[in-house]
């Protein structure tokens, strides 16, 4: 099979002799590969690579000895420069097909260190797809401190590792621990915060929806007269209340419920929304589209759902004025994005 392109998640896209779509894990665009079909569905098949007959430019031998056993870094077979370019092409394709818009071919993807960048991790001591325990002496993407912690923990099925460098983050003390989500790549995070601050500018009211521990509000609160932070995860509340200032209000409730009850505030505010991978629900999207904000900043950990939601926001009258990518997880096909919408 000749691989045409890579799709969301990193799999190669090709067609079987009968013309049906096949997704091939571990294949790169342009490569000629011998495959083994491992799963068939009504509309597509999944396959693995048996042999690479014509390797693509930028392919490499994965440098990690645990590659293929550990499922954590699924892009190591591509040089990092190629990883970034594949993320760009995947995103361009997603937005063309789903959002029905053409992003600039060279839209920016911000990058940091390729290795040793993770200050937070969940570690599973099982071989990928099995119950076999794999002792890992050193993980190439973990920080030095987390690798030291890795040596100290028992080989249980799952552990959380957290090196809270965020305690002295950009001159602020940001409170968090392993029980809540916090961005793992602390080298690249200041760039995202800076771009969010630039786009948000300043004003009377900031609504920080899905605020987590209040990270963005902690850095934006000095630019707004009033900040309202909303987060349903009750574990985040104690940290958010410590991270936020006197001009900040915190509500431990669902985004849909809060926005429905306070819809009149949406049109007055700069809205910052950082939803889970599933994106914004239809209910929340309807409220945001009916009560349009002067500015909407959408932080996304899933380009596919961002592209879907972008189409809905554009249909409602928003204008996409900026979009950027952030390669927070090198050696994977994961991309985080920031999109800015104005009226």
What amino acid positions are annotated as catalytic residues? 301
Phi (first) and psi of residue 236, to 5 degrees = -80, -20
CA distance 17 to 35: 12
206 in Cβ contact with 218 (< 8 Å): no
Pairing of strands 109-110, 319-326: parallel
Coil, strand or helix: which one is 88?
helix
Pairing of strands 32-40, 44-54: antiparallel
CA distance 269 to 208: 10
Radius of gyration of the chain (CA): 21
155 in Cβ contact with 167 (< 8 Å): no
Residue 234 exposed, middle or buried by CB count within 10 Å (0-12, 13-18, 19+): exposed
CA distance 105 to 144: 36
Angle between helices 80-94 and 303-315 (to 10 degrees): 30
**What letter would DSSP give residue 273?**
E
CA distance 33 to 55: 8
228 in Cβ contact with 216 (< 8 Å): no
> 86 Cβ partners below 8 Å, 6+ apart?
6, 10, 28, 29, 75, 78, 333
């Amino acid at each position: 099979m000749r691989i045409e392109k890579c799709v969301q998640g990193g799999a190669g896209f090709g067609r079987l002799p009968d013309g049906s779509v096949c997704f091939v894990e571990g294949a790169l665009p342009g490569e000629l590969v011998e495959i083994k079909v491992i799963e068939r569905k009504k509309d597509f098949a999944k396959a693995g690579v048996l042999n690479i007959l014509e390797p693509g430019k930028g392919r490499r031998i994965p440098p990690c000895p645990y590659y293929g056993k550990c499922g954590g870094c699924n892009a190591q077979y591509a040089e990092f420069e190629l990883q970034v370019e594949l993320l760009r092409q995947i995103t361009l394709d997603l937005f063309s097909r789903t959002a029905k818009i053409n992003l600039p071919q060279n839209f920016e993807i911000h990058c940091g260190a390729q290795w040793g960048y993770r200050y937070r991790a969940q570690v599973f001591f099982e071989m990928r797809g099995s119950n076999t325990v794999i002792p890992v002496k050193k993980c190439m993407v973990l920080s030095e401190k987390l690798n030291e912690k890795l040596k100290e923990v028992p080989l249980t099925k799952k552990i959380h590792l957290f090196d809270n460098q965020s305690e002295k983050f950009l001159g602020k003390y940001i409170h968090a621990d392993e029980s809540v989500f916090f961005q793992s790549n602390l080298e690249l995070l200041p760039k995202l915060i800076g771009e969010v601050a630039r786009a948000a500018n300043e004003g009377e009211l900031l609504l920080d929806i899905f605020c987590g521990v209040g990270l963005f509000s902690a850095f934006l609160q000095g630019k707004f007269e009033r900040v309202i932070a909303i987060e349903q995860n009750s574990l985040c509340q104690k940290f958010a209340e410590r991270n936020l200032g006197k001009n900040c209000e915190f509500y431990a409730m669902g985004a849909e419920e809060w926005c429905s009850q306070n819809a009149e505030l949406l049109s007055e505010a700069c809205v910052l929304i950082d939803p889970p991978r599933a994106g914004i629900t239809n209910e929340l999207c309807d409220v945001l589209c009916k009560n349009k904000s002067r500015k909407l900043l959408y932080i996304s950990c899933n380009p596919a759902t961002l592209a879907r939601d972008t189409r809905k926001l554009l249909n409602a009258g928003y204008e996409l004025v900026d979009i950027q990518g952030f390669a927070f997880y090198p050696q994977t096909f994961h991309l985080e994005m920031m999109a800015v919408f104005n009226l």
